[in-house]
Structure 1
């Protein structure tokens, strides 16, 4: 099955993404854009409708949990969805070169990076090697959550997602300008491993009518 043309507005892209998640969690995926025709169609070039910046966790396969296919999502993944220059460059490439109208920060429950950062703050547990760099980049979210009296796993996760959305727009002038112009939206979603739901946690650039439905 091959879908119609990809959405070109932030609202339409978000609605298409969440419709796919709804199909996935109810066990009725349509597996769009996963056939030979789509493979041939996208071989000369790509036009994804969303940049998906998520955690590297093996249970967070974006094309599956949002029921999408070849050429739909431009996926960037790091442990704990932590930002670095390469990540920022990849996301900006998706927006400025490929023309995607939506950027998604995708976090999830039972995240090892978030748990390690929490343990570092609460117990002084230190990670080894370059894992420490990942933990250190998540730690500000743990500290920010604790300062606001938010100490549960879900509260810390949501704080990390919101903080990552804010950091993206703070560090990338390109993204901030396009959100301001109404060309791009940046959203944060929290995925639940047990039931497959993706909850909207942060939104910059979506219309109010869309966020209310989400």
Structure 2
């Protein structure tokens, strides 16, 4: 009887140790997950390449429906009262489906956003970009078009089908027209429009100086509505 009691006691202790080990293992997994989540926000960004890598990793998380790490806490808002230090200026379309903070899984103060239909630029938009890259010292400028862009579609239909464009939308169509005329499809025109806008920005005196001095890089991008961003060469 005594042997049976001792045996049962030993078995009970082994079971408890096993459960404890599982709990500890689970705790380690949770710590690893927390560490993985923290990696995105804790990335050190000093160069354009750092900023681009941050955007790529953020988009990977977005595409995979990974847990977002966007910091909109009271503490973060209080911190930003003293100023901003974004790591990227992004010129994108004003389309409601193109939300850069979600697409790149970023938080408050991370992206200096410029949004116009068709991701085109005028003097006001260029002035805003100049503020970001010169005054704020942002190292990366991204020009991002997207799938099913209404502005590019309007320009394409106006030029190839003779569809009339009313109001000030016509001024947007005029800016996209060269890209449309050089393309055989709306998607191709969207890509070409990104190239044209980059070429236009590269001629701006302030932006050109920053690029030539190695303080700024300009990259093109194309957003598919499934969530994926293709960075263009």
2:194 is aligned with 1:161: yes
Question: Superposition pairs for residues 110-189 of structure 1, below 5 Å?
Answer: 110-145=148-183, 151-170=184-203, 172-189=204-221
Report the Cα distance in structure 2 between the residues aligned to 1:22 and 1:152, rounded to whole angstroms.
28
1:197 — aligned with what?
A: 228
* Runs of 4 or more above 6 Å deviation: none
Q: Where is the helix percentage greater, Structure 1 or Structure 2? A: 2
Is the 2:43–2:54 Cα contact (8 Å) retained in structure 1?
Answer: no
Q: Which SS does the other structure have where 1:107 is aligned?
A: strand
1:211 — aligned with what?
A: none
Report the Cα distance in structure 1 between the residues aligned to 2:155 and 2:79, rounded to whole angstroms.
43
Report the Cα distance in structure 2 between the residues aligned to 1:127 and 1:196, rounded to whole angstroms.
30
Question: Superposition pairs for residues 13-162 of structure 1, below 5 Å?
Answer: 13-145=51-183, 151-162=184-195
Report the Cα distance in structure 2 between the residues aligned to 1:139 and 1:8, rounded to whole angstroms.
37
Report the Cα distance in structure 2 between the residues aligned to 1:127 and 1:152, rounded to whole angstroms.
19
Report the Cα distance in structure 1 between the residues aligned to 2:68 and 2:193, rounded to whole angstroms.
32
Q: Which SS does the other structure have where 2:52 is aligned?
A: helix
Q: Which SS does the other structure have where 2:115 is aligned?
A: strand
**TM-score, scaled to structure 1:** 0.87
Provide, for residues 178-213 of structure 1, a one-character-per-residue CA deviation record: whole Å limited to 9, x for no partner. 1122111111100001x20100124xxxxxxxxxxx
Unaligned stretches of 5+ in structure 1?
146-150, 203-214
Deviation of the 1:5 alpha carbon: 6.8
Report the Cα distance in structure 2 between the residues aligned to 1:126 and 1:98, rounded to whole angstroms.
41
Q: Which SS does the other structure have where 1:43 is aligned?
A: helix
2:9 — aligned with what?
A: none
1:205 — aligned with what?
A: none
Deviation of the 1:27 alpha carbon: 0.6
Report the Cα distance in structure 2 between the residues aligned to 1:175 and 1:29, rounded to whole angstroms.
36
Is the 2:180–2:186 Cα contact (8 Å) retained in structure 1?
Answer: no
**TM-score, scaled to structure 2:** 0.80
Deviation of the 1:4 alpha carbon: 3.4
Question: Alignment RMSD, CA only?
Answer: 1.5
